[in-house]
Structure formats: structure tokens, C-alpha cells
Amino acid sequence: MEKVPKFNLESKETEQRFLDFVVGDRSNQTAEKFWNKIKHHNMNRIASNYWKPYESIISKEKASSNQSGNLYGRRI
């Protein structure tokens, strides 16, 4: 039987954390709910999957982009 790694919300090894989550559809309203839950954190850079509603809530200064300049490489 193959071992499945445990999912760790706070990994001290990589110093990556999941800040929060929202359950909902893929609308602008859901994106805004999510952003309102995490915007108080001190985030220097933000990366997310490409999801159109993020473009309206994440500043381009903080968003990571791929080589073509698209914001596809963002991860929140």
C-alpha cells in the first residue's frame, strides 16, 4: 500500500501557510469574500491559479506573473 503524505496547513520546513479559504462558486462575489478574509495579512507577493475575478481584487504590484506577463502564476 502506497503511503500518502499528510496535508499540513503550516509547514515549518517550507514556511508556506494557507491563510484561509471560502467555499463558493467562481464568481466575483466569492473572490471578494475570500480577499476580505485574507487582506489583513502582510503579503509581499501573491500567487494564484488563473481565475479572472482575482484580477479585480489583487494589485498588479503584488501579483506574480509568468514570463509572458500573464497573471497565471499567481497563488493566493
**For 14-28, b where at least 16 C-beta lie within 10 A, e where not — what string?**
eeeeeeeeeeeeeee
Domain membership of residue 66 (yes or no) is yes
The total domain count for the chain is 1
Residue 55 located in a structural domain: yes
What's the pTM?
A: 0.53
In a domain, 23, yes or no: no
What's the domain range around 55? Answer: 45-76
Structure confidence at residue 76 as a pLDDT band (50, 70, 90): very low
Q: pLDDT confidence of 64, banded at 50, 70, 90?
A: low
In a domain, 31, yes or no: no
pLDDT tens-digit series, residues 5-41:
444 445 455 555 667 888 988 888 988 998 898 888 8
**Which is more confidently placed, 1 or 73?**
1
d(CA 38, CA 42): 9
pLDDT given for residue 13 in this prediction: 55
Domain contains 61? yes
Q: Is residue 39 part of a domain?
A: no
68 is a domain residue? yes
Domain annotation covers residue 35: no
pLDDT value of position 15: 55
